[in-house]
Structure 1
Amino acid sequence: MEAITVKNLYKLYRVGDSAVRALDGVSFEIHRGEFCAIVGTSGSGKSTLLNMLAGLERPTKGEVVINGSHIEKMGEDDLVRFRRENVGFIFQSFHLIGTMNALENVALPLMFRGEAPKSRLKKADRMLNLVGLSRHKKHMPNQMSGGQQQRVGVARALVADPAIIFADEPTGNLDSHTSEDVMRLMRKVVQEQGKTLVMVTHDDHLAEYADRVFHIIDGKIVKIDVNTPEICDGGERV
């Protein structure tokens, strides 16, 4: 079964008397355990598409099927439950809580699921080890670099063991060297944890870490590139 299937997806916005097509008949499939990048300039429709996949916006028309569930047909309560049980998010702005240390920030999604404190902190501890922050567990966000904060963000996205991770410009606030480190980490997570990762970016270079790259222009997928294993694994660029 595919992780994500999108069929004939449209999103229209009213602007005065006219309608703007943010998505214009998009169809594709994403396989389980695949890292896909959606690449486009500002206004191309890439963020709207990510919001549709995550159930944060409803399509005007079309289908979004995730792990066999039609999320476009779900009510709000069912959507909230579905996201909590199936989806992890990595944000551009980290969205860490400043009054919590790294361990507490990572454990937060498990608190919303009603998990006991001892259990959720144990899982958060393991995730911080996974992302290379074993020495920063007690650090507050303002005591960490941008790259370290984003690693906390990756750990938080993973802690509830979601099948799918959505990343919205995850390196947008990082310098180029740190961006490469975070991309290698995300690539490693996909390979070792068997996650499906969908990333939105405007950066063609960062998209080279993905297995496939969906190029979106004016709400349409105009091209899909398949990257070679050498590039995907962060090897020498050719």
Structure 2
Amino acid sequence: MKKVIEVRNLYKLYRVGDEVVRALDGVDFDIYEGEFCAIVGTSGSGKSTLLNMLAGLEKPTKGEILITGQHIEKMNEEQLVKFRRENVGFIFQSFHLMGTMNAQENVALPLSFQGIPRNIRMKKAEEMLELVNLKQHKNHLPNQMSGGQQQRVGVARALVVDPGIIFADEPTGNLDSHTSEDVMRLMQRVVKEQKKTLVMVTHDNHLASYADRVFHIMDGKILKIEDRRENE
């Protein structure tokens, strides 16, 4: 199996007053192509810091992060922006949809940053909405959709740029448990059908159980990596 993400000896130290806080304390792991991985831990465990590092949104104090063979910890801001645009999709807890745009326009938005012509953008956005079973809502504004529908628009938007890797930060944090299950099943399906690598951060052990592998993190260290595929 091909390694997509390699993390070596990763540290993130913060100074808080006179104390040094180790948000990440020597983390090592690999994530493979087409894998759904969940990073699970309580608030303050280091899971969000870890996701931000993988996405190149924060720099490590020391250590290496290779994504598709490229050292992202060595990139400058300009290189990182380009790298994210070409390789990564994001799904956020708070949807981040534009209120004045309909579902299709919201999904097409990342493509406009790539300078893709409008007719192609809209066609691709429609295909992605079909993938997440929302084609019939393509003309709806966010406030005309339920939370679960909005998050499925968020999933479609992450997929529209055809990224190899998707990062999801508490993607069901604003949804009720039934809707959360629907979104998790959708994400599971997308990973398999589209052969994407998905890395999700969550505090919820039950939601983490949808992943192929679960990384349990506490006090900036990975305590154990649980392979769900072996259990099934």
Q: Give the corresponding residue for 2:45.
A: 44
Q: Give the corresponding residue for 2:199.
A: 198
The answer to whether the aligner puts 1:93 opposite 2:127 as a matched pair is no
Q: Give the corresponding residue for 2:159.
A: 158
Instruction: Report the alpha carbon displacement of residue 229 of structure 1 after superposing the two structures with TM.
Output: 7.2
The answer to whether the aligner puts 1:72 opposite 2:79 as a matched pair is no
The TM-score normalised by the length of structure 2 is 0.98
Q: Give the corresponding residue for 2:185.
A: 184
Structure 1 residue runs without a partner (length 5+) = 232-238
> Deviations for 1:88-116, whole angstroms, at most 9, x for unmatched residues?
00000000000000000000000001100
Q: Give the corresponding residue for 2:16.
A: 15
Q: How many residues are aligned here? A: 231
Q: Give the corresponding residue for 1:113.
A: 114
Instruction: Report the alpha carbon displacement of residue 134 of structure 1 after superposing the two structures with TM.
Output: 1.2
What SS does structure 1 have at the residue aligned with 2:14?
strand
Supply the distance in 1 between the matched residues of 2:144 and 2:206 (Cα, whole angstroms).
30
1:91–1:20 distance in 2 versus 1, CA, 3 Å: same
Q: Post-superposition, which runs of at least 4 consecutive aligned residues in structure 1 deviate over 4 A?
A: none
What amino acid does structure 2 have at the position aligned with 1:182? V
Q: Give the corresponding residue for 1:211.
A: 212
The TM-score normalised by the length of structure 1 is 0.96
Q: Give the corresponding residue for 1:222.
A: 223
What amino acid does structure 2 have at the position aligned with 1:145? S
The alignment's C-alpha RMSD in Å is 0.9
Structure 2 residue runs without a partner (length 5+) = none
Instruction: Report the alpha carbon displacement of residue 228 of structure 1 after superposing the two structures with TM.
Output: 3.4
Identity of aligned residues (%): 76
Instruction: Report the alpha carbon displacement of residue 230 of structure 1 after superposing the two structures with TM.
Output: 8.1
